Amino acid sequence: DTAVSQTPKYLVTQMGNDKSIKCEQNLGHDTMYWYKQDSKKFLKIMFSYNNKELIINETVPNRFSPKSPDKAHLNLHINSLELGDSAVYFCASSDWGSGNTIYFGEGSWLTVV
């Protein structure tokens, strides 16, 4: 069983559309994240949730809205997609606490055309 799974893996969509990426973890972790990886492989945190509460909200356009219905799920909804949103989006999870490993999903490759 995949520990952190996200869907879809590949998504090609037109500018202006609204899309969602779903993430689920079966590790029993209490903290989940969304990271964005740009074309140069740079990884930047977008959001972090602990026990369904938003903990980290970096400087991200408000077109991006995370939703955590329960501790095991953290979905990412993106409104009015722009060309610059093209990237790989990684979901991740961990247990809260120093030294705990963050486990990543396989990524969702978003291409906006």
Partner 1 sequence: GDSVTQMEGPVTLSEEAFLTINCTYTATGYPSLFWYVQYPGEGLQLLLKATKADDKGSNKGFEATYRKETTSFHLEKGSVQVSDSAVYFCALLTLDGYQKVTFGIGTKLQVIP
Chain residues binding partner 1 by CB under 8 A are 31, 33, 40-45, 48, 50, 55-56, 90, 94, 96-107
Q: Please tell me the distance from the alpha carbon of residue 44 to that of residue 38, in angstroms, as a whole number.
A: 9
Query: Residue 36: exposed, middle, or buried by beta-carbon count in 10 A (0-12, 13-18, 19+)?
Result: buried
3-state secondary structure of 25: strand
Q: Which is nearer to partner 1, 64 or 104 (CB)?
A: 104
Q: Which is nearer to partner 1, 15 or 56 (CB)?
A: 56
Q: Which amino acid is at 47?
A: F
Q: Could you tell me which of 90, 5, 94, 105 has the C-alpha nearest to residue 51?
A: 94
Rounded to a whole number of angstroms, the minimum distance from the CB of residue 105 to partner 1 is: 6
Q: Which is nearer to partner 1, 33 or 78 (CB)?
A: 33
Rounded to a whole number of angstroms, the minimum distance from the CB of residue 77 to partner 1 is: 21
Sequence-ordered list of residues with C-beta below 8 angstroms from that of 41, at least 6 positions apart, any chain: none
Rounded to a whole number of angstroms, the minimum distance from the CB of residue 6 to partner 1 is: 9
Q: Which is nearer to partner 1, 28 or 40 (CB)?
A: 40
